[in-house]
Amino acid sequence: MNKRKLLSLPYLVWMIGFTVIPLLMILWYGFQKKTGGFTLEHVLAIARPEHLKPLLISLLLSVICTAICLVIAYPLALILRKANLKKSSFVIFIFILPMWMNFLLRTYAWLNLLDDGGLVYVLMQKMGFKGNIVGTYSAILLGMVYNYLPFMVLPLYNAMTKIDDFTLNAARDLGANERQVNLHVILPLTFPGIVSGITMVFVPSLTTFVVSDLLGGRKIFLIGNIIEQEFSTASNWNLGAGLSFVLMIFILVSMAILNHYDTLGEEEEA
Amino acid sequence: MKKLKNFFGNAYLAIVFVFLYAPIVTLIVYSFNEGRGRKWQGFSVRWYEELFHSASIGDAVYNTLTIAFLSALIATVIGVISCIGLQALKGRTRNLYMALNNIPMLNSDLVTGLSLMLAFIAVGVTFGYSTVLLAHISFNVPYVIVNVMPRYRQMNQSTYEAALDLGAKPVKAFLKVVLPELMPGVISGFLMAFTMSLDDFIITHFTKGPGINTISTLIYSEIRRGIKPSMNALSTIMFISAIILLVLTNFSPTGSKTEVKDR
């Protein structure tokens, strides 16, 4: 039995080399002066208005995006579960398939629809909505929801298909109506799925620079854009790393919350 | 009442479906546009012809597909081996191992990409095909593990020991007894890893060298000038092949049966 443990070693070494050390590199750069020596300057730079504003906008947009995705995806997963498809793989297939059309192109395609002359633009004009949403927060929000919705649907659907029909029938036999079944049986049982969906949507939408690049009309800068620019054009790596460190804290907090609920789920299973 | 509910349910599904696929349909339609702009100028396959004559697109396709295939394959091998080892771990060690494994999945691509870039610089490797491949393997292994691990936990551990008792060597017992049990998880892990690698832009952006492009980074470099419709043509071809491939694998009788049993 002990020999089997050894098989976990190669990947452990890999993880240290390709996950742990690289993350430590961000700390190394982030807490170092350009000329060498320890400093907090790059991390505290997040409080400067030119960084704080993008961070706050990113936080706001990603929270709204996560909420929209949850509101869209939960009933969707519920409907899909009740449809009781013989082939649950088909559902997964439909939500994974768009990923085979390149992420950048998919987002870029929204420009064709939203910009002056596009189908959605024309429809919106007809409905009395004036103006072009390209280059606004709404366009970025739309792009985020579009790209990250599958990351919410899949864990929710997964959690829901795991619920046994007997459990629901038992609740009904005990006199629960549909609303009570949804609220007191399905909702608590899908909680780990909700938490995992929230993290999987929140993290990429908080840190994206591509969606804002494509749909923001080069007018809106999110914290992801600022960091990307520090590395690519401004080449102030220490500042970029310092700001990334601040982002990592936000991510770590959400991961800690997820981990907490994940282990809870595992205990229940066992 | 039930009918009405079903109607709303189906309508809701249809709306989400349209939302997901509207941009994709737009892309496919514009790949057949005679002109470059947003205006429809007549049906043409000129972008498809251009596609096959462009060396840079050819290179990018080659890089994208080989990196996706190799990284998914290597990640699958690493992932399956680690699952066996991981199953033998207990308690805190195991939790720590899983937490480390989850980092690339939960962390932002931006941070993962940047951190790998800084690490590669520190080691002094030249940025190119190999750095992108290494990065892709790193973010692919976790997807394999989360797909294989549940199957491994479900399976009856004593079958392996029975095979050993009957005189099989450990490797043979693994290949003949354990691996077939794990296969559905292995396949879905591989496919997920392949898809993630194929669709990745951010991590590739930070770990590639100047001379090399994948489809994503090539498209990104074209954004400022306007993306050529030949990219739409390319994506259309990939999308259609994905449908054909997935339909073939998903709906073959043996494939679907194991999937249902899994739930």
d(CA B12, CA A77): 11
d(CA A192, CA A206): 21
Whether A239 is covered by a domain: the verdict is no
pLDDT higher than threshold 60 for residue A270: no
Choose the closest CB to B122 out of A25, A100, A105: A25
Q: What is the mean pLDDT of chain B?
A: 86
Choose the closest CB to A21 out of B23, B119, B223: B119
Whether A38 is covered by a domain: the verdict is no
Whether B93 is covered by a domain: the verdict is yes
Whether B249 is covered by a domain: the verdict is no
Which of A84-88, B111-115, B181-185 is the least confident region? A84-88
CB proximity A143 to B under 8 Å: no
pLDDT higher than threshold 70 for residue A2: no
The answer to whether A26 touches A244, Cβ cutoff 8 Å, is: yes
Which long-range CB contacts under 8 A does B91-99 form with residues at least 24 apart? B95/A263, B97/A8, B97/A12, B99/A259
Choose the closest CB to B243 out of A12, A88, A97: A97
pLDDT higher than threshold 90 for residue B184: no
Give the closest-approach CA distance of A150 to chain B in angstroms.
Answer: 9
Residues in B touching A161 (Cβ below 8 Å): 263
d(CA B188, CA B183): 9
Whether B72 is covered by a domain: the verdict is yes
Q: Find which of A8, A27, A210, A230 to mutate to test the B interface (most B CBs within 10 Å of its CB).
A: A8
Q: How many domains does chain B have?
A: 1
d(CA A106, CA B43): 21
Over residues A109-121, the mean pLDDT reads 84
Token pair 């392996």: residue: B160
CB proximity A253 to B under 8 Å: no
Task: Name, in order, each residue with C-beta under 8 angstroms of B153's C-beta and a sequence gap of 6 or more.
Answer: B87
Question: Does the predicted model carry a pTM greater than 0.80?
Answer: yes
pLDDT higher than threshold 70 for residue B238: yes
Whether A9 is covered by a domain: the verdict is no
Chain A 16-35, residues with CB within 8 Å of chain B CB atoms = 18-23, 25-26, 28-29
pLDDT classification of B259: cutoffs 50, 70, 90 = very low
Residues in A touching B201 (Cβ below 8 Å): 102-104, 210
Report the half-sphere exposure of B25 (CA within 13 A, side-chain side). Answer: 8
Choose the closest CB to B202 out of A76, A86, A210: A210
Strand, coil or helix: B184? helix
Choose the closest CB to B195 out of A100, A247, A255: A100
**CATH code, domain with B59:** 1.10.3720.10
Whether A256 is covered by a domain: the verdict is yes
pLDDT at B255: 39
Give the closest-approach CA distance of B251 to chain A in angstroms.
Answer: 9
Whether A40 is covered by a domain: the verdict is no
Token pair 């962390």: residue: B107
d(CA B13, CA A270): 35
Nearest to B109 by CA among B200, B179, B38, B220: B200
Q: How many domains does chain A have?
A: 1
With an 8 Å Cβ cutoff, are B111 and A204 in contact? Answer: no
With an 8 Å Cβ cutoff, are A89 and B256 in contact? Answer: yes
**CATH code, domain with A127:** 1.10.3720.10
Q: For A133-143, how does the pLDDT look when each residue is reduced to its tens digit (9 = 90+)?
A: 888 899 999 99
Question: Maximum CA pair distance of chain B?
Answer: 72
d(CA A99, CA A91): 14
Range of the domain at B103: 55-227
With an 8 Å Cβ cutoff, are A96 and B195 in contact? Answer: yes
pLDDT higher than threshold 60 for residue B261: no
pLDDT classification of A76: cutoffs 50, 70, 90 = very high
pLDDT classification of A86: cutoffs 50, 70, 90 = low
A53-62, A109-118, A232-241: range with highest mean pLDDT = A53-62
Q: Find which of A12, A19, A25, A149 to mutate to test the B interface (most B CBs within 10 Å of its CB).
A: A19
pLDDT classification of A27: cutoffs 50, 70, 90 = very high
The answer to whether A216 touches A144, Cβ cutoff 8 Å, is: no
The answer to whether B201 touches A104, Cβ cutoff 8 Å, is: yes
d(CA B137, CA B205): 15
Whether B206 is covered by a domain: the verdict is yes
B84 against B260, higher pLDDT: B84
With an 8 Å Cβ cutoff, are B119 and A25 in contact? Answer: yes
Whether A135 is covered by a domain: the verdict is yes
pLDDT higher than threshold 90 for residue A250: no
Give the tokens for residue A81. 């579960």
pLDDT at A258: 67
Choose the closest CB to A19 out of B17, B103, B232: B103
A120-129, A245-254, B135-144: range with highest mean pLDDT = B135-144
- CA geometry: angle at B113 spanning B112 and B114, to 5°? 95
Whether B163 is covered by a domain: the verdict is yes
Choose the closest CB to A199 out of B30, B97, B106: B106
With an 8 Å Cβ cutoff, are B30 and A15 in contact? Answer: no
Whether B165 is covered by a domain: the verdict is yes
Residues in A touching B109 (Cβ below 8 Å): 204, 207
Q: Where are the alpha helices (DSSP H) in chain B?
A: 2-30, 46-53, 55-88, 91-106, 109-123, 129-154, 158-165, 170-173, 179-199, 202-207, 215-222, 229-250, 253-262
Give the tokens for residue B206. 């930070």
Whether A231 is covered by a domain: the verdict is no
Whether A25 is covered by a domain: the verdict is no
Nearest to A83 by CA among A75, A71, A94, A95: A75
A–B: how many Cβ contacts below 8 A? 235
Partners of B43 in the β-ladder: B33
pLDDT at A133: 83
Q: Find which of B96, B115, B134, B161 to mutate to test the A interface (most A CBs within 10 Å of its CB).
A: B115
Token pair 């923001």: residue: A216
Range of the domain at A181: 50-223+244-269
Q: For B43-92, how does the pLDDT look when each residue is reduced to its tens digit (9 = 90+)?
A: 888 889 988 888 889 999 999 999 999 999 999 999 999 998 888 888 88
Q: Find which of A42, A104, A246 to mutate to test the B interface (most B CBs within 10 Å of its CB).
A: A104
Percentage of residues of chain B with pLDDT beyond 70: 94
Nearest CA in chain B to A241: B114
Rounded to two decimals, the ipTM of the complex is 0.86
